[in-house]
């Protein structure tokens, strides 16, 4: 028994919205980071869904690319976050506004 | 022997190079003798080539000696070559001869100068340039020499550049010459454009194809160059200021050789002048006006060298009068004769200045005849020569000019004759103030000096040139005596170059004698006038008006109508245009950038969430747009 593609797409849309809203409303840097991951995986889910629906491997390949990028991003992003916390424990995203014009 | 002609300019160049490389090691006075030797060698070669040319038949006395190709561009190929003909050889002979004497004199005159070798370095370079000018077979190399003598003139006027007056006199000479050179350059362009060549023989052969206005333009533009170089109206003030240079320089460059380059140019382009009589008459009138203004200005000067400077301007005006009247032989004759007596007068003045410890004011001299008999006597000869007292050289030279002026227009003759009287008068004034009357100076009483403080005749290296030049001044007139068809040596010698275009006026022998008597009388009148007015008198304010002292206020006029407006414009530009317009534009651009930045920087809040919101909003707008498009 196969689940209709629309369910997957709906799930992906919900996940993406949660991620986007979370990114906008939360101040905790780690939570914002996880929200980004959430959005990336929502996009991945969409890719996979369409790959199956259209019988096209290209979608699955794209997922691999996204995963690689996400992994690289985690390395860099976590590095930055850790260094911020080291200097200012309990900092929020709004505390790092040194690039204000 | 003619092939040796290339040695004539090469020897001074070699002297220059030698002095440039080893001058300091040669030192004083050896460097001076080396330089003099180079010029003397050049003079000897010139005489030999001159003699070789003399053996040619008159019809084949124009020899073009190609040397090397300077450059070749498209159709224009300029070669450096020497044109050996009677005109160029006459010029070369007197340039090298007078230069050699003045070099010799300079060894004595500059003996105490710290920059002794540099002085001779410049002099040799000058002689080289002057010889390239007169010997060149084309206009471009002539122009090279023309600029060369100009730059040497600048170096030498400003030789004592520690004096602000000398430095500014040098600049003044350079600027006035540049105005003339602009005309010369345009003439060169026009000649090349119209005839396709710059070589004299080729250009003159193609003159027939040129329109009258082109010919007149070429003649007048070249004349503009000559006006600058030869100090004619209205560009003459630089020559009076050029007296700031050492006296041998004044004698060599600003009396005998360089300033005659313009006259030489006019004689060289005689085929052009012949075909455009209007241009020639313009030249004659400017010449006679300059002669008159120069002579009157000379009447009121108090500086011993300035009198001579204005007299040079006046004599040069006479030469242009001759060239403009088509009397090229007379012009050359009048160039040779002053080369002797002007050089003589300048060197005499130099001896006086040297003896008087650099005093140049004739009002502070007097009674020097007894102390400096040789100088005084040679100066007397110079005075009588320039006055045109028969039978000295000036009489013959001036007579040749005036006769031709009469044939063109009696008005020209009258102006010339009046100038002749004034010339005799102001030179007499100078002689009487310097050498006679009471002594208006005090002896130095310097026991260390060789003369015990009294002014004396200079040492032999300086008096020898005076003697030679005196002899030349007395007998120089013999080279062209118009009274007998076998005695006009110069006219027959120059005939291959200028003869075809010379306006020949065969006066009856009675008229010739009549002219001679009138001119002799004019000279004697001037001399007598000077004796009556200035014997034992020091000041006659009525005869020395300020207007003449300032040379008809031409400098003042330039100052008021050109220099002051230029300065005012520069001040306006500096204080208004620069500050308001140029700086304003730059500041406005900077202000605009800053204002834009100060508004745009507010977008950079530094909050990650606001950037994220921007991203989301942008994406939403983009998707909405795509949806609308797809549906529509």
Give the pLDDT of residue B337.
85
To the nearest whole Å, the CA of B605 is away from the closest chain A CA by 5
Topology (CATH) of A5-87: Helix Hairpins (1.10.287)
**End-to-end C-alpha distance for chain B, whole angstroms:** 103
What is the arithmetic mean of pLDDT over A60-89?
Answer: 91
Give the pLDDT of residue B571.
93
pLDDT digits (tens, 9 = 90+) for B431-448: 888 888 888 877 655 544
pLDDT digits (tens, 9 = 90+) for B522-560: 888 888 888 888 887 778 887 888 888 888 888 888 889
Of residues B59 and B579, more confidently modeled: B579
What is the arithmetic mean of pLDDT over B499-510?
Answer: 68
Q: What angle (nearest 5°) sits at the alpha carbon of residue B98, between those of residues B94 and B100?
A: 120
For residue B325, is pLDDT > 60? yes
CA distance B508 to B503: 16
Residue in A with minimal Cα distance to B601: A101
Lowest mean pLDDT across B16-25, B116-125, B394-403: B394-403
Residues of A in contact with B610 (CB under 8 A): none
To the nearest whole Å, the CA of A19 is away from the closest chain B CA by 11
Among B residues 562-601, those touching chain A with beta carbons less than 8 Å apart:
600-601
DSSP letter string, B414-473 = HHHHHHHHHHHHHHHHHHHHHHSS---S-----TTSTTTTS-----HHHHHHHHHHHHHH
To the nearest whole Å, the CA of A98 is away from the closest chain B CA by 6
Residue in A with minimal Cα distance to B609: A24
Q: Please state whether the predicted TM-score (pTM) of the whole model is above 0.80.
A: no
The ipTM estimated for the assembled molecules is: 0.83
- Read off φ and ψ for residue B22, nearest 5 degrees: -120, 10
pLDDT band at B483 (very low <50, low <70, confident <90, very high): low
Q: What angle (nearest 5°) sits at the alpha carbon of residue A10, between those of residues A9 and A15?
A: 95
Cα separation values, B239 from B243, B244, B291, B348, B503, Å: 7, 10, 14, 19, 31
What is the arithmetic mean of pLDDT over B327-351?
Answer: 87
Mean pLDDT of chain B: 87
pLDDT band at B292 (very low <50, low <70, confident <90, very high): very high
Residue in B with minimal Cα distance to A39: B616
b/e per residue B102-127 (b: at least 16 CB within 10 A):
bbbbbbbbbbeeeebbbbbbbbbbbb
Residues of B in contact with A98 (CB under 8 A): 606
Beta bridge partners of B65: B82
Contact B602 A101 (CB under 8 A): yes
Give the pLDDT of residue B546.
82
What is the arithmetic mean of pLDDT over B99-106?
Answer: 89
B533 touches B543 (CB < 8 A)? yes
Write the secondary structure of B95-106 as one string of H (helix), E (strand) and C (coil).
Answer: HHHHHHHHHHHH
CA distance B626 to B632: 10
pLDDT band at A68 (very low <50, low <70, confident <90, very high): very high
**End-to-end C-alpha distance for chain A, whole angstroms:** 57
For residue B128, is pLDDT > 80? yes
Give the pLDDT of residue B212.
86
Share of chain B above pLDDT 90, in %: 30
Residues of A in contact with B616 (CB under 8 A): 20, 24
b/e per residue A19-55 (b: at least 16 CB within 10 A):
bbebbbebeebeebbebbebbbbbbbbbbbbbbeeee
Q: How many CB atoms lie within 10 A of CB B622?
A: 10
- Read off φ and ψ for residue B437, nearest 5 degrees: 80, -160
Contact A96 B608 (CB under 8 A): yes
Residue in B with minimal Cα distance to A100: B606
To the nearest whole Å, the CA of A68 is away from the closest chain B CA by 22
Give the residue among B109, B93, B98, B107 at the shortest CA–CA distance from B35.
B107
Look up residue B364 and give its DSSP letter: G
Give the pLDDT of residue A40.
94
Cβ-nearest to B601 among A93, A94, A101: A101
**Is B606 near chain A, with CB under 8 Å?**
yes
Cα separation values, B83 from B66, B126, B132, B160, B498, Å: 8, 20, 10, 37, 14
Q: What angle (nearest 5°) sits at the alpha carbon of residue B452, between those of residues B446 and B458?
A: 110
Cβ-nearest to B604 among A20, A32, A99: A99
The number of residues making up chain B comes to 632
Q: What does the domain layout of chain A look like in residue ranges?
A: 5-87
Cβ-nearest to B612 among A24, A94, A97: A24
Helix (H) or strand (E) holding B243: none
Residue in A with minimal Cα distance to B598: A101
pLDDT digits (tens, 9 = 90+) for B357-383: 888 888 888 788 888 888 899 999 999
Give the pLDDT of residue A75.
94
Write the secondary structure of B70-86 as one string of H (helix), E (strand) and C (coil).
Answer: EEEECCEEEEEEEEECH
pLDDT digits (tens, 9 = 90+) for B243-275: 888 888 888 888 778 888 999 999 999 889 888
**B457 cis-preceded (ω within 30 degrees of 0):** no
CA distance B135 to B92: 7
CA distance B31 to B22: 9
Of residues A93 and A75, more confidently modeled: A75
Helix (H) or strand (E) holding B164: helix B164-195
To the nearest whole Å, the CA of A1 is away from the closest chain B CA by 33
Mean pLDDT of chain A: 89
Contact B609 A94 (CB under 8 A): yes
For residue B62, is pLDDT > 90? no
Of residues B388 and A40, more confidently modeled: A40
What is the arithmetic mean of pLDDT over B459-477?
Answer: 84
Write the secondary structure of A7-72 as one string of H (helix), E (strand) and C (coil).
Answer: HHHHHHHHHHHHHHHHHHHCCCHHHHHHHHHHHHHHHHHHHHHHHHHHCCCHHHHHHHHHHHHHHH
């Amino acid at each position: 028994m196969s689940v209709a593609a629309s369910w997957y797409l709906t799930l992906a849309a919900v996940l993406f919205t949660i991620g986007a809203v979370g990114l906008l409303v939360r101040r905790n840097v780690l939570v914002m980071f996880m929200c980004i991951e959430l959005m990336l995986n929502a996009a991945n889910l969409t890719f996979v869904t369409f790959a199956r629906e259209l019988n096209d491997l290209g979608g699955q390949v794209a997922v691999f690319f996204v995963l690689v990028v996400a992994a690289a991003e985690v390395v860099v992003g976590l590095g930055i976050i850790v260094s911020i916390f080291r200097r200012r424990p309990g900092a929020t995203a709004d505390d790092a506004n040194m690039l204000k014009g | 022997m003619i092939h040796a002609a290339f040695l004539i300019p090469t020897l001074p160049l070699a002297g220059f190079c030698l002095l440039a490389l080893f001058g300091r090691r040669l030192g004083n006075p050896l460097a001076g003798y080396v330089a003099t030797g180079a010029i003397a060698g050049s003079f000897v070669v010139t005489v030999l080539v001159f003699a070789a040319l003399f053996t040619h038949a008159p019809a084949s006395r124009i020899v073009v000696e190609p040397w090397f190709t300077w450059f070749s561009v498209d159709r224009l190929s300029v070669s450096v070559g020497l044109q050996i003909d009677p005109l160029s050889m006459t010029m070369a002979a007197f340039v090298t001869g007078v230069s050699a004497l003045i070099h010799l004199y300079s060894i004595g005159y500059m003996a105490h100068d710290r920059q002794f070798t540099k002085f001779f370095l410049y002099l040799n370079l000058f002689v080289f340039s002057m010889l390239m000018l007169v010997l060149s077979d084309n206009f471009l190399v002539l122009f090279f020499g023309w600029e060369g003598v100009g730059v040497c003139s600048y170096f030498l006027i400003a030789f004592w550049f520690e004096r602000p007056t000398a430095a500014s006199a040098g600049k003044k000479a350079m600027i006035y010459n540049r105005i003339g050179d602009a005309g010369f350059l345009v003439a060169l362009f026009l000649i090349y454009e119209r005839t396709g060549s710059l070589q004299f023989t080729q250009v003159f052969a193609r003159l027939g194809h040129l329109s009258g206005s082109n010919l007149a333009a070429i003649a007048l533009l070249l004349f503009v160059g000559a006006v600058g170089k030869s100090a004619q109206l209205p560009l003459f003030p630089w020559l009076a200021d050029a007296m700031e240079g050492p006296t041998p320089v004044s004698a060599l460059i600003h009396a005998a050789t360089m300033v005659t380059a313009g006259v030489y140019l006019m004689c060289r382009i005689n085929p052009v002048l012949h075909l455009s009589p209007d241009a020639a008459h313009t030249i004659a009138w400017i010449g006679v006006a300059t002669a008159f203004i120069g002579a009157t200005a000379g009447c009121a000067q108090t500086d011993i060298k300035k009198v001579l400077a204005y007299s040079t301007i006046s004599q040069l005006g006479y030469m242009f009068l001759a060239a403009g009247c088509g009397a090229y032989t007379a012009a050359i004759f009048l160039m040779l004769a002053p080369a002797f007596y002007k050089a003589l007068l300048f060197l005499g003045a130099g001896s006086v200045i040297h003896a008087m410890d650099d005093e140049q004011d004739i009002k502070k001299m007097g009674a020097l005849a007894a102390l400096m008999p040789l100088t005084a006597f040679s100066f007397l000869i110079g005075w009588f020569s320039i006055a045109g007292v028969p039978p000295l050289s000036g009489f013959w030279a001036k007579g040749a000019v005036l006769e031709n002026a009469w044939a063109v227009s009696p008005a020209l003759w009258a102006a010339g004759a009046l100038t002749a009287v004034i010339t005799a008068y102001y030179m007499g004034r100078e002689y009487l103030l310097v050498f006679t009357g009471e002594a208006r100076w005090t002896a130095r009483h310097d026991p260390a000096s060789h003369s015990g403080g009294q002014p004396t005749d200079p040492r032999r290296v300086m008096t020898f040139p005076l003697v030679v030049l005196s002899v030349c001044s007395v007998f120089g007139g013999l080279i062209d005596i118009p009274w007998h068809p076998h005695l006009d040596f110069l006219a027959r010698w120059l005939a291959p170059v200028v003869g075809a275009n010379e306006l020949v006026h065969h006066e009856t022998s009675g008229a010739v004698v009549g002219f001679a008597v009138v001119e002799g009388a004019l000279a004697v009148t001037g001399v007598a006038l000077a004796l009556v007015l200035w014997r034992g008198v020091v000041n006659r304010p009525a005869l020395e008006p300020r207007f003449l002292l300032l040379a008809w206020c031409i400098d003042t006029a330039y100052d008021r109508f050109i220099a002051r407006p230029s300065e005012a414009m520069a001040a306006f530009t500096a204080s208004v245009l620069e500050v308001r317009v140029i700086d304003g534009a730059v500041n406005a651009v900077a202000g605009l950038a800053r204002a834009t930045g100060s508004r745009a920087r507010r977008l950079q809040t530094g909050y990650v969430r606001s950037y994220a919101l921007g991203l989301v909003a942008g994406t939403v707008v983009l998707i909405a747009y795509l949806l609308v498009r797809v549906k529509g």
